[in-house]
Amino acid sequence: SLRELALDLEEGADMVMVKPAGPYLDILAKVAESVDVPVAAYQISGEYAMIEAAAERGWIDRDKAILESLTGIRRAGAQMILTYWATEAAQWLGRDARR
């Protein structure tokens, strides 16, 4: 994956993306430390499905799990996160910012 990153940068990439985000937080952190372009992370449908399924069964608090997963991705170095919860998370963050 880091070889692909180097090739992308050599080809003039304006940004790089790590996918899937959650399982590759270590790679995401290495990428964020080593590049001078914006770093995006894509939270794939499997990550989404796992949280939704666990929440539906009452095993986890859905909203807390979503925010924790996004926080972990951000802490690992992503400047942008592509997620199926983008609209919902933006509403939560906007609401919290107004408090």
92 falls within a domain? no
Domain that holds residue 36: 2-86
The Cα–Cα gap between 36 and 39 comes to 9
Q: Which residues pair with 80 in a beta bridge?
A: 40
Q: Is residue 79 part of a domain?
A: yes
CA–CA separation, 48 and 85 (whole Å): 8
What are the two backbone dihedrals, phi and then psi, of residue 81, each rounded to the nearest 5 degrees? -125, 125
Contact 18, 41 (CB under 8 A): yes
How many domains does one find in the chain? Answer: 1
The string of pLDDT tens digits covering residues 15-74 is 999 999 999 999 999 999 999 999 999 999 999 999 999 999 999 999 999 999 999 999
Does residue 91 form part of some domain? no
- Does 97 reside within a domain? no
Q: Could you tell me the pTM of the whole model?
A: 0.87
8 A C-beta contact, residue 94 and residue 72: no
